[in-house]
A and B are shown apart, each in its own frame.
Chain A
Amino acid sequence: MPENPAGTLTAPEKPAKQKPGGTLYRGREGMWSWVLHRITGVAIYFFLLVHILDTSLVRVSPEAYNAVIGTYQTPIMGLGEVALVGAIVFHAFNGLRIILVDFWSWATRNQKVLFYVVIALWVLTMLAFVPRHLINVFSH
């Protein structure tokens, strides 16, 4: 045992704490921003399909359009609109973060910081939107 000089027996060092999950990749800010970007993107895509169709009803008749748009004004859909706007705002700010990471070396090195900037901007935007929207939804 060349590490241990003769006569000095030391207790083995505590083994490094085993992290759970073994080799499973557990990403950090970069992975979670990617996951959220996908989920919000898919959600917005399917809303867009529906939204083009419901708006097209203006070409059918005023009654048909008003009947469908009236369902957007119920309390449950009002909460759904909060989720939709939340998804859009995250996708928008994180998309701008992706562009910065692609084109600007400082942003590439600091992509983790920029993820928290995206979260902060999302919180600020939602603070501006949600109270006003919920008052509109629930005051009728």
Chain B
Amino acid sequence: MTVIDSPRTPARPARRSGVNLEKWGWVYMRASGVLLVVLIFGHLFVNLMVGEGVHAIDFGFVGGKWADPFWQWWDVLMLWLALIHGTNGMRTLVNDYTNPGMVQKVLKGALLVSAVVLLVLGTLVVFTFEPCPAGAPADLLPSFCPAA
């Protein structure tokens, strides 16, 4: 006879000593969630509600924002908090809807790799951004560029 585990039986027993990573993941979701409400509501308000909203967004708009370290750090903080929050949430879904095994390992590996690649890419983009690239059409540049 097949014995079916009770619904809340963990796939493997919890670690008995050391850092409880699942607990800190649980704490992270709540702490980052509160910060993200502020960061993302601010992001949406400035980019979609002020002035012409979505129609004002272009290269010059981004250049104008990232000329200010305040918005650089706002966006980088939002990037790290949101992508790790989202990746950990997706990990919860993988745990819920797949069984331990190769498929689950591949899915979690894909989540980890895409998060690391996008965190590195996004951080480099924000901090190496060149608002006045040489040779670009003057009418596409922010107004503070010498060529504009």
Residues of chain A touching chain B, judged by Cβ–Cβ distance below 8 Å, are 38, 41-42, 44-45, 48-49, 52-53, 55-56, 58-59, 61-63, 65-66, 69, 72-73, 78, 81, 85, 88, 92, 95-96, 98-99, 102, 129, 132-133, 136-137, 140
Residue B79 contacts which of A52, A53, A63, A72 (CB distance < 8 angstroms)?
A: A52
Contact (Cβ within 8 A) B49 A129: yes
* Chain B residues within an 8 Å CB radius of A88: 40, 44
Question: Given A48-B86, A96-B37, A99-B34, A62–B133 Cβ distance below 8 Å?
Answer: yes
| Alpha-carbon distance between A96 and B24 when the two chains are bound, in angstroms | 18
Contact call A136/B52, Cβ cutoff below 8 A? yes
Do B128 and A59 touch (CB < 8 A)?
yes
Assembled-state Cα–Cα distance A92/B39 (Å): 11
Q: Of B57, B87, B125, which one neighbours A69 at CB under 8 angstroms? A: B57
Residues on the A chain within 8 Å of B49, using CB: 129, 132-133
66-104 of chain B: CB within 8 A of chain A? 79, 82-83, 86-87, 89-90, 93
Chain A residues, Cβ within 8 Å of B83: 48, 52
Asked if residues A41 and B86 are in contact (CB atoms below 8 Å), the reply is: yes
Determine whether the beta carbon of B37 is less than 8 Å from that of A92. yes
**Size range of the interface on B?**
35 or more
Ordered by A's residue number, 5 sampled pairs between the chains whose C-beta atoms are within 8 Å are A45-B89, A62-B140, A65-B58, A92-B33, A96-B33
* Structural contact, A62 and B86, CB atoms closer than 8 A: no
Q: In the complex the two chains form, what is the Cα distance from A102 to B30 in whole Å?
A: 10
Which single member of A49, A58, A137 contacts B59 (CB below 8 Å)? Answer: A58
Cα(A48)–Cα(B63), bound, Å: 21
| Given A69-B57, A132-B49, A92-B30 contact (CB < 8 Å) | no
Note all chain B residues with C-beta closer than 8 A to A140: 55
Q: Are B141 and A133 in contact (CB under 8 A)?
A: no
Query: With A45-B89, A59-B129, A92-B40 in contact, do A136 and B55 touch (Cβ < 8 Å)?
Result: yes
Q: Are A72 and B54 in contact (CB under 8 A)?
A: yes
CB distance from B132 to the nearest CB of A (A): 10
Ranked nearest first, the 4 interchain pairs of A and B with the lowest CB-CB distance are A136-B53, A62-B59, A62-B140, A45-B86
